[in-house]
Chain A
Amino acid sequence: MTASLVPFAASGVLVATGVTLLLERSLVRLLAGVILLGNGVNLLILTAGGPAGEPPILGRSDPDRMADPLPQAMVLTSIVITLGVTAFLLSMVHRSWQLTGGDEVQDDTEDRRVRLRARRGELAQAVLDRQEAYRRMVREQRAELARLEAARHERERREAEELEQRILDVNVDLGRWLQENKDEGLSTERLAERFAEAQRAEDVSKEGRQERVRELRAEFARREREQAERERHIRRRLRTRRREARKQLRAAIRADRERQARAQDPDLEGPDPEEES
């Protein structure tokens, strides 16, 4: 059997063109694609029946030279069917044009809705993550402040303890001195006298010592002030940082909401700003 390549090639070209047109969004082009594709396929069926021959009517031509009638019957059937469906598609094109003024096939809105919901979930997760980070930051700063305060308390307590220890020491010294003098067998008057003497001697140096205590007190107050100042500074810084973080968070949430609202445009159509960028 010899087969001509020309019908095969023609059928191939028709099918290829038809498939290309089928990939369009416009229904009219789809229609053209379907028609071309149908013709290409019909040509293929015809070719599959073998070479052309005489009409397949018994008694008129020799059965050996007849064309195969079956593919022709099949092609007829498929032509009728393609015609019917093409007419239906055409009416759909018309209806689509009536309804929307165009023949473009739109995306499924429900698909977009599901996709949007997935993205909304992601955004909500991002917001949650950011909130969590912010809370962690606040927690860290609070802990730092608490640590600083605890350190100051500790220092004050130690200083007070030291002071008490010294008073204790002085008292002990005094007791010992009194005891020593009693042991030397001095009378109470004499002791009082000596004590007064020592007091007098001490008074001389007391001036200097009081001076020193005043100085120390001033020093202490200054330190105290400095400490308070520093604490206030830290608190202020913490406050500003917290405020800034909150502001950032709010701005981010607002931007996310805006993006969502834009994506949920009534038509759910039009380019997505996020996808474009």
Chain B
Amino acid sequence: MEALISVPVVLPLLAAGLKLAIGRRLRRLQALISVLTLAAVLAVSLILLPVADREGPLVARAGGWEAPIGIALVADRLSTLMLVVSSAVTLCVMIYSLAQAYADQEDRAPLSIFHPAYLIMVAGVSDAFLSGDLFNLFVAFEMLLSGSYVLLTFGGTESRIRAGATYVVMGLASSLLFLVAIAVAYGATGTVSMAQLAERFSVLPQHVKLLVELMLLLVFVVKAAIFPMSAWLPDSYPTAPAPATALFAGLLTKVGIYSIIRLEALLFPGGPVSGLLMWAALLTMLLGVFGAVAQTDIKRMLSFTLVSHIGYMVFGVALSTVAGMAGAVFYVVHHITVQTSLFLVTGMIERRAGTTSLDRLGGLMKLAPLIAVLFFVPAMNLAGIPPMSGFLGKLALIQAGVADGRPMALTLVAGSLMTSLLTLYAVATTWSRAFWRAPPPGIRQTGTVLESEEREDGEDPASRAHGTEGITGRAIVTSVNMPLAMLGSTMALVALALSYTVMAGPLSALAERIATELLAREPYISAVLEGAR
């Protein structure tokens, strides 16, 4: 069973290498490799989850080195749950991007670069969830970031390079800060194994502990796009190819949240920063949603709601009670699925209408009723309409906040209610403008080919800024027929998000067990350090 733990990290890396070696030949085989790899990762995660739930944290030791000397991959309940959700989402997005590339006849370039970058990113995400070592966590971050750098700047168009510059510099700066934090932590404790760090931090003087905690927290706050460090996200995400944006929105910020959960629960339990986190959560929620209300581009609107809803998860973590943590975990699972499916649907809107700007969309309800429904359901889920999972997640968090009873927690409850209401406003306006109202004059006809590179001459600036770019950033064909695989993968994600309502009982029980295990700390530490003592 321990051998399986490394599969989600190693297999995508192997596949990426294999695909780079194959190059541009054998396209069918390449697509098959991608899908099979991700399906295998999903299967392994599905096997690991019940085992980890039943038997406690599983540990794989790299190279057979005993902890704390060797690098440990730890699959506890939280890691495996995150793995299951992330691999389900990555599989769906992969199928979607394959279908889109195939339909656009762009499949040569994507297969040779897009897929390896994608797989490396998936490996990085899995590694981040599994890592039991602070330095390995840094390596995992670098893996997923370098994959995402490639995906974000894919095709190298002007807007993507501009957005990529912000994103790459932001990623680099936070990575270097991470290294500084690791250096300080290592200097203070002489170890980078998280289990051992957790033991040794408890005997360190308060100020050293606080310094390391704040530095690490700052790094993860940047990665998760929490308020003072959230400005880069809506700036850089919307220009990327639709499947890449969907994946980033679903997974990358959640890796940050996952790290914050580990940090707060395992390394620094009951630290003094929870008050700080509460403020960050409140401001993230409110400022994010205010930004969302002001946007007229669907992708940007969704990016802002993404920032805003990160606040909910931070809220749960900051409470640091079992109920709060459980709420946060449930919300992470819900949000990964919903946000990804929303971005995927936006990709289909872009394909159908040639733009995602609300100023130039309209009447899609009649033209594409299926897309309208596919957007409506996750949008309402995001806003938290009962009985969908968004409602359940928010309810759990609000109950946890009320049970906590501190004035700040109650303020957060009020703030989250307001955020939910404003989110509903933002998505409802978007939906009614894009789908419900009569189409504005001059809407693009289907079948128009928009060249995104040779558009300087005589085109109005509005359409240049809102330019629509396919995966490679070169051209996009708006089309009536959606490839079945695109529709199917999106529908699968929407249905997955809806199924959380059906599975709400077991899922929230699992979330509660996760929270208990996290806050107990002992199972994790003893599983990793077993044999070392």
- Known interface pairs A74-B135, A85-B146, A267-B461; A44-B180 also in contact (CB < 8 Å): yes
A96 at the binding interface (Cβ < 8 Å):
yes
- A41 in contact with B176 (CB, 8 Å): yes
Question: Please, which residue of chain A has its CB at the minimum distance from the CB of B466?
Answer: A110
Provide the bound-state CA to CA distance between A113 and B235, in Å: 13
Residue in B138, B163, B173, B465 whose CB lies within 8 Å of A113: B465
Provide the bound-state CA to CA distance between A270 and B161, in Å: 20
B179 at the binding interface (Cβ < 8 Å):
yes
Chief secondary structure at chain A's binding surface: helix
Provide the bound-state CA to CA distance between A84 and B142, in Å: 10
The distance from the CB of A106 to the nearest CB of chain B, in whole angstroms, is 6
Question: Please, which residue of chain B has its CB at the minimum distance from the CB of A18?
Answer: B176
- Known interface pairs A38-B176, A41-B180; A49-B235 also in contact (CB < 8 Å): no
A92 at the binding interface (Cβ < 8 Å):
yes
- B183 in contact with A44 (CB, 8 Å): yes
- B161 in contact with A92 (CB, 8 Å): yes
- Known interface pairs A48-B184, A71-B186, A99-B158; A78-B166 also in contact (CB < 8 Å): no
A208 proximity list for chain B (CB < 8 A): none
- B158 in contact with A100 (CB, 8 Å): yes
- B176 in contact with A110 (CB, 8 Å): no
B461 proximity list for chain A (CB < 8 A): 264-268
A42 proximity list for chain B (CB < 8 A): 179
A110 proximity list for chain B (CB < 8 A): 238, 297, 300, 465
B465 proximity list for chain A (CB < 8 A): 109-110, 113, 268
- Known interface pairs A22-B169, A264-B461; A88-B186 also in contact (CB < 8 Å): no
Provide the bound-state CA to CA distance between A37 and B177, in Å: 10
| Chain B 145-165: CB-based contact to A (< 8 A → 1; otherwise 0) | 110011001001110011111
A77 proximity list for chain B (CB < 8 A): 135, 139
- B173 in contact with A22 (CB, 8 Å): yes
Provide the bound-state CA to CA distance between A49 and B191, in Å: 10
A48 proximity list for chain B (CB < 8 A): 183-184, 186-187
B41 at the binding interface (Cβ < 8 Å):
no
The distance from the CB of B399 to the nearest CB of chain A, in whole angstroms, is 36
- A30 in contact with B169 (CB, 8 Å): yes
B235 proximity list for chain A (CB < 8 A): 108, 111
Residue of A71, A92, A95 with highest tally of chain B CB at under 10 A: A92
- B192 in contact with A70 (CB, 8 Å): yes
A114 at the binding interface (Cβ < 8 Å):
yes
A265 proximity list for chain B (CB < 8 A): 461
A127 at the binding interface (Cβ < 8 Å):
no
The residues in A between 60 and 75 inclusive whose CB is less than 8 angstroms from any CB of B are 70-71, 74
A70 proximity list for chain B (CB < 8 A): 186, 192
- A85 in contact with B161 (CB, 8 Å): no
- A92 in contact with B168 (CB, 8 Å): yes
Provide the bound-state CA to CA distance between A85 and B143, in Å: 11
Question: Please, which residue of chain A has its CB at the minimum distance from the CB of B295?
Answer: A114
Provide the bound-state CA to CA distance between A30 and B158, in Å: 18
A85 proximity list for chain B (CB < 8 A): 142, 145-146, 149, 168, 171-172, 175
Provide the bound-state CA to CA distance between A205 and B150, in Å: 118
A16 at the binding interface (Cβ < 8 Å):
no
A118 at the binding interface (Cβ < 8 Å):
yes
Residue in B149, B156, B179 whose CB lies within 8 Å of A78: B179
Provide the bound-state CA to CA distance between A45 and B183, in Å: 5
Residue in B164, B169, B171, B183 whose CB lies within 8 Å of A41: B183
Question: Please, which residue of chain A has its CB at the minimum distance from the CB of B149?
Answer: A88
Provide the bound-state CA to CA distance between A95 and B168, in Å: 14
- Known interface pairs A92-B164, A108-B235; A45-B146 also in contact (CB < 8 Å): no
The distance from the CB of A23 to the nearest CB of chain B, in whole angstroms, is 10
- A114 in contact with B294 (CB, 8 Å): yes
Q: Identify the B interface with A (CB < 8 A).
A: 135, 138-139, 142, 145-146, 149-150, 153, 156-158, 161-166, 168-169, 171-173, 175-176, 179-180, 182-184, 186-187, 192, 235, 238, 294-297, 300, 461, 464-465
| 23 residue pairs bridging A and B, Cβ less than 8 Å apart | A30-B165, A34-B176, A38-B176, A41-B180, A47-B183, A47-B187, A49-B187, A70-B192, A74-B182, A88-B146, A89-B169, A92-B161, A92-B168, A95-B156, A99-B156, A105-B166, A110-B465, A113-B296, A114-B294, A117-B296, A118-B294, A266-B461, A268-B465
